[in-house]
Amino acid sequence: MLIQLGYREEAGGQRTERGSSRLPDRGSHSGVVAPALDIRPARIADIRRVEPLINDFARQNLMLPKSADQLCRHFREFVVATDAAGRVLGCGALRVYSESLAEIASLAVHPAAHGSGIGRRLVERLLEEARGLELSTVFALTLKDGFFHKLGFRTVPKEMFPLKVWADCRNCPKLHACDEIAVAVGV
């Protein structure tokens, strides 16, 4: 599988001309898994890669936009998926709301890498973190409920998560016309 990210990273993380990285197929579920894929906590320098990843999808109304400032303030909540060349192929965050509840937020995989199992690996890693924190429930608000159902989440009423509504939804332009679906899983 050839993943065209549309840029090439050089030592120092500078984005230069269009490039690609070879990620060999490995027969698994529907798609392909990059064997060299690493899922690790985000570093502050990753934010310049994470920000366009999220905001490209936000412009398509697939997720909430995030400013670089917001991402810097919350970068410790993030994990990133990187390939053998260290390029960021995906990201996701675990946002804790209470002693028992957390949200998977800002989950995004580079379009050229969709279907490679990266989204699954990011969610599994965030659920592992949630278990480590001894939380009991993880939820997400999403337009991709089918993806989350594959990972064991169930659709639940949005009203179950008033803290989320207080924290994010009140500032969302779609507040009164929210089309996102709440999904949750016990951890």
Which residues inside 64-93 make contact with ligand COA, applying CB under 6 A? none
User: Which listed range, 7-15, 35-43, 117-125, 152-160, lies at the site for ligand COA (CB under 6 A)?
Assistant: 117-125
Dihedral sign (CA 25, 30, 34, 35): negative
Which residues inside 150-169 make contact with ligand COA, applying CB under 6 A? 150
Q: Which of these, 52, 93, 91, lies nearest to 76 by C-alpha position?
A: 93
Letters for 24-43 (x = contact with ligand COA by CB under 6 A, - = none) are: -----xxx------------
Per CB under 6 A, the list member of 94, 117, 137, 184 interacting with ligand COA is: 117
What CA–CA distance (Å, rounded) separates 130 from 121? Answer: 14
Q: Please say which residue, 8 or 144, places its beta carbon nearer to ligand COA.
A: 144
119 contacts ligand COA (rule: CB under 6 A):
yes
Beta strands 88-96 and 137-142 are unpaired
Residue-wise burial string across 136-161, b where 16 or more C-beta atoms lie within 10 A, e elsewhere: ebbbbbbebbebbeeeebeeeebeeb
Per CB under 6 A, the list member of 109, 127, 135, 184 interacting with ligand COA is: 109
Least spacing, CB of residue 153 vs ligand COA, in Å: 10
Instruction: Provide the token pair at 71.
Output: 């991402």
127 contacts ligand COA (rule: CB under 6 A):
no
3 contacts ligand COA (rule: CB under 6 A):
no
Pair 164, 175: CB distance under 8 Å: no
Report the DSSP beta bridge partners of residue 96.
102
Question: Which residues of this chain interact with ligand COA, rule CB under 6 A?
Answer: 29-31, 57, 62-63, 107-109, 114-120, 140, 142-144, 146-147, 150
